[in-house]
Amino acid sequence: MRALLERSNRFLDAPLDLGPRLLLVAAAVVLVAGIALFPLWSMTMFAPQYEEGLRLQIFSYKLEGGNQGQDINEINVLNHYIGMRDLVSDDFTEFKWLPFVGGALALLMLRAAVHGHAGHVLDVVVLFFYFGAFSLWSFGYRMWSYGHNLAPTASVKVEPFMPPMFGSKQLANFEVYSYPAAGTYLMVAAALLVVAALAAAWRQAGVRGQKET
């Protein structure tokens, strides 16, 4: 046990070589691009009266409807009939903290790349995966809340429901498709780059240990 602890401490204190540092810088750039420039999720609704579909894109900081923003207005009109709250960016608390937390993670990646040791990379990996898991849970809860808190005075009565997070689902006469968009894929790519940096640091620490012995 003592030998294992000593080996772990040596790894956590090991300085990063050039390879892991470059991977961390790349991860920070990819993460910021995913959060700032691209939608994280995309939803499309098809019905006989909407053959071309109603489209909604979810960014880290806003909602954006298709057809130059008109689709979100049409979706809110339909939601009104079943008693669902309007989709309004101001109601999404995630838009307030998600860009901030994503930017903080990118800064931690850059800090680890410039000044860090392997332990700093491990911290970033743990925080990143917690951030990803919490974001998915928050998104799922938001979807559940919209579909289950329906106004009892709605003109059209429907059973409480949850729109799909992944894949498709039939809701009344609508076929709803929901999939991750480019921003989420870039966040996954950033996570893989950070994990690759940690793996590279682990290998390099092992090589140093062999040379010392």
Cβ atoms of residues 183 and 59 within 8 Å: yes
pLDDT in tens, 38-68: 999 999 999 888 888 899 999 999 999 888 8
For position 208, what pLDDT does the model report? 54
Q: Record the pTM.
A: 0.86
Residue ranges per domain, the chain? Answer: 18-207
> Which residue matches tokens 């690759």?
196
The pLDDT confidence band at residue 84, using thresholds 50, 70 and 90, is confident
For position 23, what pLDDT does the model report? 94
Cβ atoms of residues 109 and 124 within 8 Å: yes
SS3 track for 58-100: ECCCCEEECCCCHHHHHHHHHHHHHCCCCCCHHHCCHHHHHHH
Arithmetic mean of pLDDT over the chain: 85
For position 128, what pLDDT does the model report? 94
For position 6, what pLDDT does the model report? 53
Q: Rounded distance, CA 51 to CA 45, Å?
A: 9
Give DSSP secondary structure letters for 86-154: P--GGG-THHHHHHHHHHHHHHHHHHHHHH-BHHHHHHHHHHHHHHHHHHHHHHHHHHHHHHH---TT-
Average pLDDT, integer, range 120-146: 90
What pairs with residue 109 in β-bridges?
none
Whether 86 has a pLDDT exceeding 80, the answer reads: yes
pLDDT in tens, 14-30: 777 888 899 999 999 99
Long-range contacts of 76-83 (CB under 8 A, 24+ apart): 80/154, 81/154, 81/155, 81/156, 82/150, 82/154, 82/156, 82/157, 82/158, 82/172, 83/150, 83/151, 83/152, 83/153, 83/154, 83/156
Q: Rounded distance, CA 91 to CA 58, Å?
A: 13
Instruction: Find, among 103, 100, 95, 85, the residue nearest to 62 by Cα.
Output: 95
pLDDT in tens, 171-193: 777 888 999 999 999 999 999 99
User: 208 or 191: which carries more pLDDT confidence?
Assistant: 191
